[in-house]
Amino acid sequence: MSLTGGTATGAPVSWPHWARANVSLAMAVLAGQPRLPAVQGTRARVLVAGSATIVLAAVAMAFADASLAEAAKRLPAWLHAAFAFVTDFGKSGWFLVPTGIVLLAIAAAASPALTLLSRLVLAAIAVRAGFLFAAIAVPSLFSTVIKRLIGRARPFVGDEADPFLYLPLSWPAAYASMPSGHATTAFAAAMAVALVWPRLRWPMLVYAVIIAASRVVLDAHYLSDVIVGAFVGGAGALMVRDWFARRHLGFMVDAKGAVHPLPGPSWSRIKRVARSLIAP
């Protein structure tokens, strides 16, 4: 195949053909062998954070979960309504749908007929969108599976808030309390965005805390559920970052094993490529 949109015989290549080729190439690169040395420090940080999470969750279960659930029922109706509106922004679809659309659009638009610069710009955008998608989807999927295995009852599934009511290996949503899926998604998104754009780390942290708090205020989860969800989301996004970094996808690993985000294309260059796609 040539870079002008045709095969060696001059026959044109249809967009479904190059879209499939782009997807196949992306999956091959993502699943390929690491090109860079192992990242230093991530495993230790995850172990420390995991140990702290276990302690905090245990303390919350013993001393705070039931009382906070009871207190949440007595909060004003307007506060419940406000958090009921806010909490929906913790669903993974808010992140996975737009990033998924971007990835599909790039796969369809990255024609061999484009200039090398245009294809490099699209590839850089696809890498970052792919990282955000994976860094949120992987922890969220893990949370969805593990909560069914744990089988912890949500607040007031019985006649009272019982933090120690479990039905392991169950599918009903009433017994899918730990970890909180919304908290997992929110903290995965906050970590992923902060890793790509460090300047956004504080706004994203505020977003994640508000989403986590909403789950307790609405008695959808106990405090310990959102503590565990925050760990799963943050740690999961960090490990996905390391996977991308070792393959030099959006990140680089320096000689000391530290990870740094690679610079992306400028807005002016992105707009130039977008204009070329809209009006070639």
In a domain, 54, yes or no: yes
Whole-number pLDDT of residue 31: 87
Whole-number pLDDT of residue 160: 87
In a domain, 107, yes or no: yes
In a domain, 98, yes or no: yes
Whole-number pLDDT of residue 39: 86
Whole-number pLDDT of residue 13: 60
Q: What's the CA gap between 173 and 162, in Å, rounded? A: 16
Kindly give the confidence (pLDDT) of every residue in the chain, 280 residues in length, as a single tens digit, with 9 standing for 90 and above.
333 344 444 445 666 777 788 888 888 888 888 887 788 889 999 999 999 999 999 999 999 999 999 999 999 999 999 999 999 999 999 999 999 999 999 988 888 888 888 888 999 999 999 999 999 999 999 999 999 999 999 999 977 899 999 999 988 999 999 999 999 999 999 999 999 999 999 999 999 999 999 999 999 999 999 999 999 999 999 999 999 999 999 999 888 888 999 988 888 888 888 887 776 5
In a domain, 22, yes or no: no
Whole-number pLDDT of residue 62: 96
In a domain, 2, yes or no: no
Give the count of domains, the chain: 1
Whole-number pLDDT of residue 17: 79
Whole-number pLDDT of residue 279: 65
pTM metric for this prediction: 0.91
In a domain, 249, yes or no: yes
SS (H, E, C) the chain: CCCCCECCCCCECCHHHHHHHHHHHHHHHHHCCCCCCCCCCHHHHHHHHHHHHHHHHHHHHHHCHHHHHHHHHCCCHHHHHHHHHHHHHHCCHHHHHHHHHHHHHHHHHCCCCCCHHHHHHHHHHHHHHHHHHHHHHHHHHHHHHHHHHHCECCCCCCCCCCCCCECCCCCCHHHCCCCCHHHHHHHHHHHHHHHHCHHHHHHHHHHHHHHHHHHHHCCCCCHHHHHHHHHHHHHHHHHHHHHHHHCCCCEEECCCCCEEECCCCCHHHHHHHHHHHHCC
Q: What is the dihedral of CA 266, 267, 272, 277, to 10 degrees?
A: 110
In a domain, 82, yes or no: yes
Structural domain for 198, as ranges: 36-278
Whole-number pLDDT of residue 90: 96
In a domain, 15, yes or no: no
